[in-house]
Structure 1
């Protein structure tokens, strides 16, 4: 019987299958390898500077970074966590140690996930930088969504408007007027351009204290800002689509960067447009800080703050104490929340 010769395509597929098998074996070895106590050094403190599916990069107090396995008893580990870990006496399967415990968190930033429920994305954050852009338009509704998340997490927020080099004088004054809405209720705002460098020095100075994290929709220039602050990082960026006005999601790994002038920056691909379906109506209401001084003073306890008689919120809007656009955005969020919860209930039944 004549032996059949393999074609080039068949040989290539065989080699690809072998490579995939080897890769699975390597990843399995990294994931399933358990460190014995005699192979490990003393317990020490560390900081999670990068998080992957099966391991994490841990920075020690001298600033050296070690890739570590995670003890199976750890329920959650994210960038920004302070941990207790032990270094191995030697490097095994590319792993240098093991994380044994997570220290108490000052705070967390979470987002809802349809499959995993509420998912923690980062921990121990001093400020959330909400990045918006003027292309295609500045959306106050989206800003308000992020602010509700910040208020719920009890983390200070800074509003940053990027790409202001694209504005003419009239448009710039309009954006400044919109930002006054937030400045009047105590939020810090900044207008800057990663492209022209406008106000970037002041922005860098702001970030030089504590740990910051960027949030914002794709296309607003988060990666360009990272490149402007840390040019050696070379975070990939994509141009805004001429058709939709929306950019492509370009960042691929969660990581904490130490900034040259002090402070730290967490850049995470998982933080994009937050859903709010995990929140209750009361949490969204409390997410509007200027509402707080009148809440509880409506005529009826179950006031929906619409056309209800004796609504203190509506009266505050009419008196100019609450901005009408914020009030309208609030009701858009409430309506969107009810619709999303209804859809999720239908899908899970």
Structure 2
């Protein structure tokens, strides 16, 4: 795979300058203070550039501007906003403040550093599929990210109707490893209506987010859970074999079970170069009892004498498959990391 060419500092400055110019152009709808109503609480259900859709306490949705001093917002943020006296080109209010997030899911961005994907969530549903390709490596990357921020993961394998009996048995053996670690696993098919009852039970009375590669069927799952939404879906590209983006911005939905679900845009790759190596190891939960137990403090866990993790693998306490996945993540972290200083937070 061809590596993306890294931008120079000058190119990065020009990108950011152009972004700021676009933001200023977007700030065309302004109200005087006396034209705004009282402050009220709301929830961001979707975000579009410098605008965001805010759901009021009564369930009505208002598209609002954001104060420039506010910083960025993501779906799930709890905010303070004010309604305008009249609608201006579809804009109906102003967001003035954001409450502190009780949780957030983040990912590294090549240009902007660490970005929040969604806020105030309880659970992350890692959606994979047999098409375009099932990969435990992708599942492991998401699990590390979810464990790092202390959220609850659910692994969902979609499109199982495309598997024959032998193929399904093979994938079930692979995923039994995760079930043995205590992770919830769901086998789902929107065409055969399989696994949706189990999924509904896991979503019940929680705020969850669907994450995964493009084309794994996240939007189809939302349609199955909420048929009245009629979200657009796309098939996997026959030319590239890759998933095609359907959802372009994260969107929050209310479920009949009482929970809330955020459908997030798919990604082609999910990197972890923003994490310290120690946090990656922590993300593999079966490694935790053996961390800092090796004879040598700088043990690389690659045949070093007195390696506690190698002893755990030999005894069957740690899976060789998962350990190999952990090593692959470490190998790719430096190669994929941008050649510049990354802000600790740039939300």
Q: Distance in 2 between the 1:62 and 1:136 partners?
A: 41
Find the partner of 1:61 among 57, 81, 88. 57
Which residue of structure 1 aligns with residue 326 of structure 2? 330
Q: Distance in 2 between the 1:28 and 1:94 partners?
A: 18
SS of 1:213 mapped into structure 2 = strand
Find the partner of 1:345 among 319, 322, 339. 339
CA deviation map 1:130-183 (0-9, x unaligned):
011123542111110111110112111000011111122222222221111111
Which residue of structure 2 aligns with residue 138 of structure 1? 134
Which residue of structure 2 aligns with residue 237 of structure 1? 233
Which residue of structure 2 aligns with residue 106 of structure 1? 102
TM-score, normalised to structure 1, is 0.87
Structure with more relative contact order (C-alpha pairs < 8 Å, separation 6 or more): 2
Moved more, 245-254 or 27-36: 27-36
CA radius of gyration, larger in: 1
Moved more, 202-211 or 280-289: 202-211
Q: Distance in 2 between the 1:29 and 1:136 partners?
A: 40
Which residue of structure 2 aligns with residue 281 of structure 1? 277
CA deviation map 1:158-214 (0-9, x unaligned):
000111111222222222211111111111111110111112122123223211111
Structure 2 unaligned segments of length 5 or more: list them: 1-22, 343-347
Q: Distance in 2 between the 1:242 and 1:98 partners?
A: 44
Which residue of structure 2 aligns with residue 219 of structure 1? 215
SS of 1:42 mapped into structure 2 = coil
Find the partner of 1:183 among 179, 182, 194. 179
CA deviation map 1:234-276 (0-9, x unaligned):
2222222345432211212321111123211111226553211
Closer/same/farther in 2, CA of residues 121 and 71 from structure 1, 3 Å limit: same
SS of 1:318 mapped into structure 2 = helix
**1:1-349 paired onto structure 2 within 5 Å:** 31-269=27-265, 273-341=269-337, 344-345=338-339
SS of 1:292 mapped into structure 2 = helix
Q: Distance in 1 between the 2:107 and 2:266 partners?
A: 9
Task: Please report how far the alpha carbon of residue 41 of structure 1 lies from its aligned counterpart in structure 2 after TM superposition.
Answer: 1.4
Closer/same/farther in 2, CA of residues 224 and 302 from structure 1, 3 Å limit: same
Task: Please report how far the alpha carbon of residue 233 of structure 1 lies from its aligned counterpart in structure 2 after TM superposition.
Answer: 2.0
CA RMSD of aligned residues (A): 2.1
Q: Distance in 1 between the 2:187 and 2:106 partners?
A: 27
Moved more, 223-232 or 134-143: 134-143
Closer/same/farther in 2, CA of residues 262 and 346 from structure 1, 3 Å limit: closer
Q: Distance in 2 between the 1:205 and 1:145 partners?
A: 25
CA deviation map 1:45-85 (0-9, x unaligned):
10001111021111111101111111111112111000011
